[in-house]
Structure 1
Amino acid sequence: MHLGMDIGTSGVKAVLVNEAGAIVATAARELTLSHPAPLWSEQDPDAWFEAAVGAVDALASSNSREIAQVRGIGLSGQMHGATLLGEDGRPLRPAILWNDGRSHAECAALERYCPLLRNISGNLAMPGFTAPKLLWVARHEPEIFERIAKVLLPKAYVRYRLTGEMVEDMSDAAGTLWLDVGQRRWSELLLKATGLDLHHMPRLVEGSEVSAHLAPEFTRRWGMANDVLVAGGAGDCAASAIGLGAIAPGDAFLSLGTSGVVFRVTDRFAPAPASAVHAFCHALPGLWHQMGVMLSAAASLAWLSGIMGTSAAALLSPLGEAVDGPSPVKFLPYLDGERTPHNDAAATGAFVGLRGVTGRDQMVQAVLEGVAFAARDNLVALGHASSAITELDLVGGGSRSALWAQICADVLGIPVHRVEEGEVGAALGAARLGRLAATGERPAAVCTRPRRLATFEPRATAAAAYEDAYHQWRKLYPALKEDV
């Protein structure tokens, strides 16, 4: 039996997985975000830990026999979050998250100061990454910066609280802008550019390697054996890939979570910063991946449901499982800025084409289409970086909607597959990494593909209409950017 924990932005999920690879039980705890100023996004690091413990407490209460058999634990987590610890191991301030846009000026300064940044890290300096956040702290909160003893990412902080060890895996570390991604080691040059050195960094391991042992306090609390291993784990997208069995070059998927990602596995370090494509280490040795990232995918629908005072399910229900063609309204999903392809933390969302007769259903459809159009932007960017993607598995909370899946297929022009356990992919992937660390099995034997529940093919008439709509939608960002 193996346990996976996914430290997300909106909540923590925990899953128990048996030796056959099936999910036995799940538990979740919600998290809240803080936005104390425009472009700011923060969370209390201790809230991650408390939610993780609470989720496993629930599993231990309802599945005590199974939890007692756990031998390996894997952690997945939201990437990039700057968790700053003092000498006592306690957070010095709230963590600055992946969707925080305050450090755009620091990104420009970092690129000027370190011309080799893109070559080493494989990525543009973007406000979402960790390194610019530290430059912001150094500039605006120097008294805190001087007290920093360690910088951890969210899941590494939870690992530290569960094991007493400060360790990070390669996939998550690649999202800091401090990793030499091709060589899979910290870069002293990049650290120096932000006033840090190797002493500020956790130890590095591969995602499938043993990182630490679960502390006795928690083995007793949950009724586990004394030798429970904790794997290196992975950033949320790489963990989702492990959960989907995306471990061969060319494997790809689309995630419609809080943020959105188009993900492709590569067998080499393949940076493409000119297209704002991310190039990171995968969670397994000898593999890397490319990602196009949109900052507000399912979050856009959640925002609309909050504005309209009803659930996302209630918004989607009147539209059924398919629409005939594009909404007359267009939506830019840049509620938290955007990464691929614009790299613009100041980008804003917008509805365009509203009229007196516009109804709620047209606005809801526009949000789904706006996210799908942004996913196509990502697909185009990845196509410029290497070979074209010809099909995608669909994961994340947005994968629940057959309507959204069909819109994605029509907009992207390729088959989209909804898969089993698509909503817990990252936690499942984490559990698989925990198993690999505990057993030493071959990844191919453990990281199998999930069953495809449905395939959504592009419909010729709708796809043609969306082709025109996409090119019209593409004109909105530069037009609105120019006017702002």
Structure 2
Amino acid sequence: MDLGLDIGTSGVKAVLVNEAGAILATATRELALSHPVPLWSEQDPDAWVDAAIGAVDDLAARHPREVARVASIGLSGQMHGATLLDEDGRPLRPAILWNDGRSHAECTMLEQRCPSLHTIAGNLAMPGFTAPKLLWVARHEPKIFARVAKVLLPKAYVRYRLTGEMVEDMSDAAGTLWLDVGLRRWSALLLHATGLDLHHMPRLVEGSEVSAMLAPDYARRWGMAGDVVVAGGAGDNAASAIGLGAIAPGDAFLSLGTSGVLFRVTDRFAPAPASAVHAFCHALPGRWHQMGVMLSAAASLAWLAGVMETPAAALLAPLGERVDGPSPIKFLPYLDGERTPHNDAAASGAFVGLRGATGRSQIVQAVLEGVAFAARDNLAALSAAGGPLAEVDLVGGGSRSALWAQICADVLGIPVHRVEEGEVGAALGAARLGRLAATGEDAAAVCIRPRRLASFAPRSHVTAAYDEAYGQWRALYPALKESFK
């Protein structure tokens, strides 16, 4: 038995996976976000730990015999979050998260201090990454910065609390701007540019390697027999790729989670910072990946549901499973700024085209299409960086909607496939990495592709209409950019 833990932004998910690779049970615990100042996004690191422990407690209570046979644990987590620890390993402040936009000025400072940043890290300096956050802390909270002994990412903090070891995997480390992504090691030069040194960083391992052993107290708490291996694990998107069997060069998927990601596996370090494409290590040795990132994907629909005080499912129901053309309303899904292709933390959401006769369903459709158009921006960026994509699997909470899947296919102009276990991909991927660490099996034998539940082909007459609508939508950001400031 293998256990996967995904430390997400809105919650922690645990999955119990049997020897055949099937998911036997899942458990979740919700997390709260804090936005004390505009552009800020923070969480209590100990809330991740409490939620992770609570989720496993739930599994152990419902499936004690199966949990007793757990041989490995894999960890997945939201990327980039700056968790600052003192000499005693305690958090100095709330963690600054991936969707926090406060450090835009520090991004400019970092690129000026280290002109070779793009070459080494393979990415632009963006407020979402970890390194600019530390520059912000150094400038605005110098007393806290002076006490920083270690900087961990969210899942590494959970690992530390469960094992006593401070370790990070390559895929998550690549999102800090402190990793030499091509060489898969910390860069002393990049660390120095943020006033840090190698001793501030955790030990590095590959995602499929053993990182530590579960502390005996937790093994006893959950009734686990023998030593339990904890794998290096992966950042959430790389873990989702493992869960989807996306391990060969060219494999790709589109995630409609809180954020949105278009992900492609590569067999080499292939940076493309000019188009704000991310180039990171994959969770397996000798593999990398490229990503385009939208900061508000399913979060855009959740926001609308909250504003309208109506569950998302009820908003979608009147639209059915397909529409025959674009909404007359255009929506920019930049509720938390945007990464690919704009790299603009100040970008804001917007509706354009509203009239007195505009109905609720037209607004709902516009939100779905706005996210799909942003995904098309990402597709264009990845195509320019490494060639076109022929098809994508669809994962994340948004993958539940057949309507959204069809809109994505029509907007992107390529087939989109809904897959089994698409909503637990990261936790499943974490469990698979745990198994690889414990058994040393070949990754191809463990990281199999999920069954496709439904395929959505682009419809030529609708795609033509969306091509025109996308051109109109693309003109909105440059027209409104100055107003966002």
Could you state the TM-score of these two structures normalised by the residue count of structure 1? 1.00
Amino acid at match of 1:95: A
Question: What is the distance in 2 between the residues matched to 1:118 and 1:31?
Answer: 34
Partner of 2:245: 245
Partner of 1:429: 429
The offset of 1:226, in angstroms, is 2.9
Question: What is the distance in 2 between the residues matched to 1:313 and 1:396?
Answer: 15
Q: How does 1:312-461 map to 2 (within 5 A)?
A: 312-461=312-461
The offset of 1:238, in angstroms, is 0.1
The offset of 1:230, in angstroms, is 0.1
- Does the C-alpha gap of structure 1 residues 437 and 200 become closer, same or farther in structure 2, counting only changes over 3 Å? same
Partner of 2:97: 97
Secondary structure of 1:280's aligned partner = strand
Partner of 1:481: 481
The offset of 1:274, in angstroms, is 0.2
Runs of 4+ in 1 over 4 A off after TM superposition: none
The offset of 1:482, in angstroms, is 3.3
Question: What is the distance in 2 between the residues matched to 1:463 and 1:225?
Answer: 56
The reply to whether residue 197 of structure 1 matches residue 197 of structure 2 is yes
- Preserved CA contact (<8 Å) 1:180 1:187: yes
For the aligned residue pairs, the C-alpha RMSD in angstroms reads 0.5
The reply to whether residue 293 of structure 1 matches residue 280 of structure 2 is no
Question: What is the distance in 1 between the residues matched to 2:62 and 2:317?
Answer: 33
- Preserved CA contact (<8 Å) 1:84 1:151: yes
- Preserved CA contact (<8 Å) 1:80 1:128: yes
Question: What is the distance in 1 between the residues matched to 2:401 and 2:9?
Answer: 21
Amino acid at match of 1:127: P
Deviation by residue 1:449-482 (Cα, 9 ceiling, x = unmatched): 0000000000111111000000000000000113
Deviation by residue 1:71-116 (Cα, 9 ceiling, x = unmatched): 0100000000000000010000000000000000000000011000
Question: What is the distance in 2 between the residues matched to 1:482 and 1:43?
Answer: 31
The offset of 1:201, in angstroms, is 0.1
Secondary structure of 1:431's aligned partner = helix
Partner of 2:262: 262
The reply to whether residue 218 of structure 1 matches residue 218 of structure 2 is yes
Q: How does 1:228-239 map to 2 (within 5 A)?
A: 228-239=228-239
Secondary structure of 1:422's aligned partner = coil
The reply to whether residue 173 of structure 1 matches residue 176 of structure 2 is no
Partner of 2:126: 126
Question: What is the distance in 1 between the residues matched to 2:236 and 2:39?
Answer: 22
Structure 2 gaps of 5+ residues are none
Secondary structure of 2:91's aligned partner = coil
Question: What is the distance in 2 between the residues matched to 1:135 and 1:225?
Answer: 44
Question: What is the distance in 1 between the residues matched to 2:174 and 2:482?
Answer: 33
Partner of 2:271: 271
The offset of 1:422, in angstroms, is 0.1
Deviation by residue 1:189-222 (Cα, 9 ceiling, x = unmatched): 0000000000000000000000000001100000
Secondary structure of 2:423's aligned partner = helix
Amino acid at match of 1:103: S
Amino acid at match of 1:339: R
Amino acid at match of 1:77: G
Secondary structure of 2:279's aligned partner = strand
Question: What is the distance in 1 between the residues matched to 2:130 and 2:482?
Answer: 29
- Preserved CA contact (<8 Å) 1:260 1:295: yes
Partner of 2:117: 117
Question: What is the distance in 2 between the residues matched to 1:479 and 1:80?
Answer: 31
Secondary structure of 1:59's aligned partner = helix
Q: How does 1:128-147 map to 2 (within 5 A)?
A: 128-147=128-147
Secondary structure of 1:423's aligned partner = coil
Partner of 1:148: 148
The offset of 1:225, in angstroms, is 1.6
- Preserved CA contact (<8 Å) 1:216 1:226: no
Question: What is the distance in 1 between the residues matched to 2:176 and 2:182?
Answer: 14
Question: What is the distance in 2 between the residues matched to 1:312 and 1:393?
Answer: 22
Amino acid at match of 1:463: T
- Preserved CA contact (<8 Å) 1:100 1:128: yes
Partner of 2:42: 42
Deviation by residue 1:49-86 (Cα, 9 ceiling, x = unmatched): 00000000000000001100100100000000000000
Question: What is the distance in 1 between the residues matched to 2:483 and 2:273?
Answer: 27
Amino acid at match of 2:343: N
Question: What is the distance in 1 between the residues matched to 2:395 and 2:169?
Answer: 23
Amino acid at match of 2:246: A
Deviation by residue 1:11-70 (Cα, 9 ceiling, x = unmatched): 000000001110000000000100000100000000000000000000000000110010
- Preserved CA contact (<8 Å) 1:182 1:269: yes
Question: What is the distance in 1 between the residues matched to 2:32 and 2:439?
Answer: 36
Deviation by residue 1:205-263 (Cα, 9 ceiling, x = unmatched): 00000000000110000000230000000000000000000000000000000000000
Structure 1 gaps of 5+ residues are none
The offset of 1:483, in angstroms, is 3.9
The reply to whether residue 282 of structure 1 matches residue 282 of structure 2 is yes
Question: What is the distance in 1 between the residues matched to 2:283 and 2:315?
Answer: 37
Amino acid at match of 2:25: A
Deviation by residue 1:292-320 (Cα, 9 ceiling, x = unmatched): 00000000000000000011111111111
Question: What is the distance in 2 between the residues matched to 1:295 and 1:473?
Answer: 18
Partner of 1:470: 470
Partner of 1:302: 302
Question: What is the distance in 2 between the residues matched to 1:300 and 1:424?
Answer: 20
- Preserved CA contact (<8 Å) 1:121 1:174: yes
Q: How does 1:75-86 map to 2 (within 5 A)?
A: 75-86=75-86
Question: What is the distance in 1 between the residues matched to 2:382 and 2:32?
Answer: 32
The offset of 1:265, in angstroms, is 0.2
Could you state the TM-score of these two structures normalised by the residue count of structure 2? 0.99
Question: What is the distance in 1 between the residues matched to 2:139 and 2:331?
Answer: 36
Amino acid at match of 2:302: A
